[in-house]
Structure 1
């Protein structure tokens, strides 16, 4: 799977140091939580994470699949040259006052409506490699009576160009803050959204049908995607922040298994192996049909009788035995089983 670069402003907006997100926020940003949990390889922007460490303490516990990337001097020079080229290509008429301002500061961590222009300049001044960007900014600003809103928009543009240039450097998909790019196509982990929505939706629909039949009442809608709801429930039950729940969940065997299953599914599709991909679809179809018979029905786990030698007693006890070789469909279903257990 291609890695995912996540804009720091998005992480700050989520405030994952909190213990829970309000229900009205979970649906809107659930794709970010989904990405943080499921992507094998996530890349974060090292300098802006460092500036905002007090708001991102949970990132210190992330596994090796999350890279906090800090470019060296040569990489910074290449980034700044690319940013300067992007600045040069933008016409003055496209830099307008009144543009959307970021709600948080990527470059300072203070509670401001946006990162200040002076901080952007101060950051650039720290590195001799930033000369091309500073020159281009001064060419734009010198002799013009830019209003504060325009200057802030320039700062926002610089951060946008920074992520676009960084994306090229690390070769990743890019998840930008929605106020930098409100119309972007959000990168998803494989076909997770479709699989989760279809599978859990079918199980819930059958449950709602039975409930109406027997009780004559409708079931409240559950608009929050299953994975985000599960992260929130783990945080509340364990007294953790949402960020800690995310870092814990990334390492759980069901999530690791899910990522492996998704990799196999994507690999079959990319190889044009329609028959191989259809085997997975058939398995998911069959599981959805079986699980629809009982909401949250657990995945079948093989058990064998084992004799335990205990002091003065010998007992035959059935113990679950892990299946070391699983089909791609089973690998996907392990996580879905866990998520449906919280319905």
Structure 2
């Protein structure tokens, strides 16, 4: 309990965390309930979201809404720890469904995420002057990452800190022109975006890009969730329960490589060539050369007609319950009249 209280006061307070797990009486129980605790998963999700804000982290954690989401949360933790290269073997080597079974493992996960967030914030606040001059304050860190990759591909020496931005881009343009001139004619192709855009148009393009990224991230997350649910359903059979550890061992590396965040940037638009706009039908000869297989040549024989066409259905006959029950019919009414007379 002393270790728990010490970690909460020193680390969570320094990270400016104000969630439910910080409250008195919730902290010990929230850690002991492992992945089934809503407060514990919400705290982990908050740490990861703060970590993504100051780093290039791709994975994310979705807070659970009930015990049924515990398995999905643990699979997301497995992919996250794989990306962060977690050094704790107890969180990376065992079965993904049994890594957060005790208080020590949950505390270790919070400690690791908290320390990663502290280090990322320190590095983010101590950026080099060159990084700050490369991009305006509102630009993302992805711009500087693209420039670093460009320097490495072109074999250029990293500019000295404090160099003018115009000079850096001028040297890049000269180097790109020299490399392009040495290539065979037509090796690169014409750019898909052939016109220059105004500053206002670039802002609208960035808004469109962000909207599309959110849309496709939602779709990818939905597909990944469907995959997790499908894999979980495989464990329901008696035979699968005996081989559950083997199935998890084969599935975890594949699941850890999946990410809901899209990697498409505006730099990909600028580097796209005209051949990207050519739409090829999936039934064309060039496409079928790579997708055809012997199964496609098998023809199905005659199959029985199952019907189901609304136009061929007969109209239902009316049902007169009063006549069938013998009450309220015309014969009964006539009989009553004769008796009266």
TM-score relative to the length of structure 1: 0.20
Kindly indicate whether structure 1 or structure 2 has the higher relative contact order, using CA contacts under 8 Å at least 6 residues apart.
1
Larger Rg: 2
Structure with higher helix content? 2
TM-score relative to the length of structure 2: 0.20
